Amino acid sequence: MASAVTSIDLQTKNAFPNPNYGQTPTPPGYVPPQAPAMMPVPQRPVGCPPGLEYLTQIDQLLVHQKIELAEVILGWETNNKYLVKNTLGQQVFYVAEENDCCTRQCCGPMRSFVLHVQDNMGQEVMTLTRPLRCASCCCPCCLQELEVQAPPGNPIGYVIQKWHPFLPKFIVQNEKREDVLRIQGPFCACNCCSDVNFEVMSMDESTQVGRICKQWTGMLQEAFTDADNFGIKFPMDLDVKIKAVLFGALFLIDFMFFENSNNKH
């Protein structure tokens, strides 16, 4: 039996490898796709909601919306999906919208939604909920609002739109509904070959705390898709729950101002 095993091992080393029936030959220079690098899981500090320990180690996030062929070819609105990475290109979160077809097609970018935020283990660590609200800047009632839950079912903060005739303005609140930060956008949120910045300010607007940036993705992608790239910056030592609420504000801003490709140029 030992000699038979040896002969089999030797056959695998000869110049005549077994044919790959039904398989396409690999072209020269082909590099197989690599799995995305994952951010290592840091130790969770005391009082930090499960899954938010990633945010304790970073002061910037990059959010890439996945391009859906059905939207590009047919113009058919699908559930949004996003990859969230750190500045090293390591994946931190995966975000997926939960919505029905009727709501997506009839309400468009002003639709209510639930976004599920998963960590690299596939566990849902945050839930972002937006109710259906008024879309007119002329109506000061029933303005936009987003609730951030971490873990799901446990609210940790809110993003509230403030009425203004010209400027996009929002208030960031903690779990007790206390005002913590302000967000202010530009007079015109349309971008042509440039980024669009929403500044995160202190409550008295004397200090800039961070920034949410809609990044220019190129003429073709901007013109024919609503897939966007965003960056967000905040202080490293900011309360991790407020970081999570600012992260949620990014998606509310995306849906309000950049989800419809007709509004981006």
CA atoms within 13 A on the CB side of 57: 17
List Cβ neighbours of 219 (8 Å cut-off, separation of 6 or more): 193
Task: Give the pLDDT band (50/70/90) at residue 138.
Answer: low
Nearest CA to 50 out of 128, 119, 147, 148 is that of: 119
pLDDT at 263 over 80: no
Tell me the domain boundaries of the chain: 53-261
Does the model's pTM come out above 0.75?
yes
Alpha-carbon distance values, 240 to 47, 49, 155, 259 (Å): 10, 9, 14, 27
CB atoms within 10 A of CB 264: 22
Q: Are residues 210 and 232 in contact, defined by beta-carbon separation less than 8 angstroms?
A: yes
Q: What was the pLDDT predicted at 36?
A: 72
Q: How far, in Å, CA of 251 to CA of 93, rounded?
A: 14
* pLDDT (tens digit per residue) in 197-242: 999 999 999 999 999 999 876 555 544 444 579 999 999 999 999 9
Residues in the chain: 265
* pLDDT (tens digit per residue) in 163-192: 888 889 999 999 999 999 999 998 776 666
| CATH superfamily of the 53-261 domain | LURP1-related (2.40.160.200)
Q: Are residues 187 and 204 in contact, defined by beta-carbon separation less than 8 angstroms?
A: no
